[in-house]
A and B are shown apart, each in its own frame.
Chain A
Amino acid sequence: MSLGKPCGATPRVAIDVSALPTYSFAHRSLMWWGTLGFVSIETAGFGLAIATYLYFAQKAQTWPPDSPPPDLLPGTVLTVLLLLSLIPNQLIKGWARAEDVIKTRIGLVIMCIAGILPLIVRVFEFMALNVRWDTDAYGSIVWLLLGLHTTHLVTDVIDTIVLTALMFTRHGYEGRRFSDVYDNASYWDFVVVSWLPVYFILYWFPRLVS
């Protein structure tokens, strides 16, 4: 009989788990670990892309080979915007943990705007790279690095917009949604932090070595 009964063994009740919570935050939750797993993958991706950039730089006679470095303004404006977005992002983590529906909703709307603004600046950033992807290896890796980070930016902004919409429905009152908001904010931290080495490599490394 397929009872799933231990092989002739009698179950002996050792503990009762019914009083355990049905959701939790940060490292206690399953989704937080899943997010961390994907963050690890993407960190490896960024690391290898930066290593590729440095590999090309070390092989080249001059760096950048035949182009001026990217203009500083759009990239720096974007960096400032991303760093500023960390303020509401930290606040929203606290509001989510406190399960404050109103503040969490307001915070999410702010984070949607805080995500869309850098995307607009990103368009100007691409235009200020001063090199095309098909010019040379330098151009290829510069576009790849910026493209890689833009993919993260777009993905998390869409995720935040969907989550915001969700929090304005009846589902917004579920405890696990607050945990989702917390994890989404943690991922945004990664989107911002992962940008800093890319920003340094794209904008300051060529100026420092030339």
Chain B
Amino acid sequence: MTAMDHADYPQDTNLDDAELSRRLTRLWASPKGLIGFFSTTDHKVVGRRYIVTAFVFLVLAGLNAVVMRLQLAQPDNDLVGPKLYNELFTVHGTTMMFLFAVPVMEAVAVYLVPLMVGTRNIAFPRLNAFSYWLYVAGGAMLWIAFLVGAAPDKGWFSYAPLSETQYSPGKGVDIWAQMITFTEVSALAVSVEIICTVFKQRAPGMSLDRIPIFVWAMLATSFMVLFALPAIMLASTGLILDRLVNTHFFDTLGGDALLWQHLFWFFGHPEVYLVFLPATGMVSAIIAPFARRPIFGYLAIVLSIIGNAVLSFGLWVHHMFATGLPELGASFFTASSMVIGITSGIQIFCWIATLWGGRPVFKTPLLFVLGFIVIFVIGGLSGLMIASVPLDTQVHDTYFIVAHFHYVLIGGGVFPLLGAIYYWFPKITGRMMSETIGRWHFWLAFIGMNLAFFPMHLLGLWGMPRRVYSYPADMGWGTTNLIVTIGAAIFAVSFLVFFWNALVSLRSGRLAGPNPWGAGTLEWAMSSPPPPYNFLRQPFVTSREPLWTEPGVLPVAEGLRVDRRELILSSVVDGDPIQIESSPEPSIWPFLAAIATTVFFIGSIFTPWAVVWGTPPIAVTLIGWFWPKGSKEEVD
């Protein structure tokens, strides 16, 4: 087909704004009705569902934590027994890591990355819908199992050989392992979409050095996912096979339990950075507009992000210092654990410099960013302490570790995320969140978090072990544990305040307008919430902050058809426009494929024959998905 043919179709070229908007809305709007609900391929709709679902899992896992803290509030308490307590911390950790922390970051990216790079939809939008349904199915499976009393209870890392059939009869561990498969397939799919969106769908003119830092962070994160998640999929597959068909990967009959730890932490350490890197991207995105100046040290920050992504693969053994590794190995991993402090430190200095050289406006999003810096630095310092083998051996499996990783994950993940919600809520909903309630939320969260987790350092140093459901009164830990529980309660209340703020603001918050913070990146270029087609005319980018460069004017590209979904593909490095790509229409097939995959995954917990009867339906739904239906999108 030649370019002449494309020019023969109706295009946006000479249409006025109102007419163009009318046509594009008809073209890009999600279908209505029940089938339409399950068919949408709009990255904003899927992204919104992803974010809300992830927060539902946050609430559920938070409730686990509340029950655990009530149990530990006083010595010799009998609110819950040891079995339920084991299930509580297992489901809490598993949900927080696999169903909240990583998915919520990808969810925000699914919503924002296409807007920030100036395109009309994510790459492979049907795969995106498929990944969401798989994620929901995996999370639902774990929680239904928990509610009917079949939950896993071996911790969020299910160490072998404890997790082998011999010591863990029942289906709890299998459900845990298969939940991994669900969420990892989903995360891998999203990562490929994000890489392709960033590499190929950037607005014309957006060369690599003009990519917003949040997008860089998500690109680096997505690459990490590609290489980290196969390790946990291999591990969980081996575990399921051990339990289902008597293989010997990790058992005591010729397998190797330490191999489980290697594979788990080869994934598990990068996993921490899958949460932290997006969070740093959010921080950079928030700091610039609130400091009223471009970010200081763009190149240094981008290189630090990439450095962190690479270095995070060289740290996994520091989770295994207590396993008796050769000394040289331990020294190497101690050194690499300290090196990553440098790349993280560079970013923190760049943020401070940005604030220093700007005129900071202390609104709620910035408060959460400042809270992040304080909490994360404390978590980073305790991290440097336990990077040293002798100290780590002492505090291993104590509350010192619990304190450390909650500082890192809440400080380095949740606080930036909450700041990001305050920051982008107006874009997603069209309304501002309440600033007054937001300040209450911040201070309750900041005080509650520190009150809950700082005393845990002391409990750990005093020798209180992790994962015990109770402790005797004469250990003298009662008062401190009560303080921790009060802190946890305040932290929980802060989330109630947050959800109340979100709900009230959704109904009656002040109207936001396109760019309430006066930010410079492309997601603020259209009305809030964005129309189904994102950009009325495709932006043409000439600088890092397109909305700050030439106020009142936005250079655009034209020549896209208005009778089928089209977007522009650009070259990887320079962002030169090279092709017009038709973007897939809504389809029910990804949802059906997700159901077929769910049946296969759950079936294979119970019988290896699921491979035989479970795969043909998947093949059928995939063929249905990819077989052309003769729509305009499929014709050249």
Q: How many residues on chain B are close to A (CB under 8 Å)? A: 94
Q: Does A141 contact B (CB under 8 A)?
A: yes
Instruction: Tell whether B233 is near chain A: CB-to-CB under 8 Å.
Output: yes
Chain A residues with CB under 8 Å of B192's CB are: 34, 37-38, 41
Kindly state whether residue A77 has any CB partner on chain B within 8 Å.
no
CA distance A41 to B368 in the complex (A): 35
Which residues from chain B contact A13 at a C-beta distance below 8 Å? 537, 555-558
Nearest CB on A from B109, distance (A): 15
Q: A30–B200 contact, CB under 8 A?
A: yes
In the bound complex, what is the Cα–Cα distance between A16 and B525 (angstroms)?
20
A27 partner residues in chain B, CB cutoff 8 A:
572
In the assembled complex, A158 has its CB within 8 A of some CB on chain B: yes
Give the interface segment out of A44-52, A86-94, A194-202.
A44-52
Interface residues as binary, B416-427 with A (CB distance below 8 Å gives 1, 0 otherwise): 000000000000
**Interface pair B552/A10, CB less than 8 Å apart:** yes
Considering only CB atoms, which chain B residue lies closest to A173 in the complex? B636
Shortest CB distance B520–A (Å): 11
Contact indicator A134/B247 (Cβ below 8 Å)? yes
Q: Which of B224-232, B280-288, B371-379, B472-480 contacts A (4 or more CB under 8 A)?
A: B224-232
Query: Taking A30-B196, A34-B196 as contacts, is the C-beta distance between A52 and B553 under 8 angstroms?
Result: no
Give chain A residues whose Cβ lies under 8 Å from the Cβ of B21: 2-4
Q: Which residues of B contact A59 (CB under 8 A)?
A: 256
In the complex, the answer to whether B249 meets A18 with C-beta atoms within 8 Å is no
- Quick one: given A33-B199, A48-B263, are A18 and B7 in contact (CB under 8 Å)? yes
Question: What CA separation (Å) do A139 and B623 show in the bound complex?
Answer: 35
Q: Is the CB of A2 within 8 A of B552?
A: no
Identify which of A4, A133, A144 gathers the most chain B CB atoms within 10 Å of its CB.
A4
Partner pick for A20 among B200, B552, B579, CB 8 A cutoff: B579
Contacts of A29 in B (CB 8 A): 569, 579
Of B59-67, B132-140, B627-635, the one with at least 4 CB within 8 A of chain A = B627-635
Taking CB atoms, residues of chain A closer than 8 Å to B227 are 40, 44
On chain A, the residues within 8 Å of B407 by CB distance are none
Min C-beta distance of A117 to chain B, whole Å: 21
Whole-angstrom CA separation of A134 from B628 in the bound complex: 44
Complex Cα–Cα for A162 and B581 (A): 23
A11 CA to B118 CA, complexed, in Å: 14
Distance from A23 Cβ to chain B, minimum over Cβ atoms (Å): 6
* A203 at interface, CB cutoff 8 A: no
A17–B568 CB distance below 8 A: yes
Say whether, besides A22-B1, A137-B255, A140-B241, A7 and B531 are in contact (CB < 8 Å). no
Residue B307 CB within 8 A of the other chain: no
Interface contact A134-B527, CB-CB below 8 Å: no
B226 touches A40 (CB 8 A): yes
The docked-state distance in angstroms from the alpha carbon of A35 to that of B423 is: 35
Given known A7-B524, A17-B558, A55-B259, contact A137–B248 (CB-CB < 8 A): yes
Residues of the A chain whose Cβ atoms lie less than 8 Å from the Cβ of B556: 11-14
A6 to B227, CA, bound (A): 39
A-B CB contact pairs (8 Å), 30 listed: A3-B21, A6-B526, A6-B539, A6-B554, A8-B552, A9-B525, A9-B547, A9-B552, A10-B553, A11-B553, A11-B555, A12-B555, A13-B556, A15-B540, A17-B560, A18-B580, A20-B568, A22-B1, A22-B6, A22-B580, A23-B1, A30-B200, A37-B191, A48-B231, A48-B234, A52-B263, A140-B238, A140-B249, A143-B247, A171-B628
Given contacts A16-B557, A41-B229, A49-B234, 13 further A-B contacts (CB under 8 A): A1-B527, A9-B552, A11-B553, A13-B557, A16-B558, A17-B568, A30-B123, A30-B196, A55-B256, A137-B249, A137-B255, A171-B634, A176-B636
Q: What is the interface of chain A, defined by CB distance below 8 A to chain B?
A: 1-24, 27-30, 33-34, 37-38, 40-42, 44-45, 48-49, 52, 55-56, 59, 65, 133-137, 139-141, 143-144, 158, 162, 166, 171, 174-176
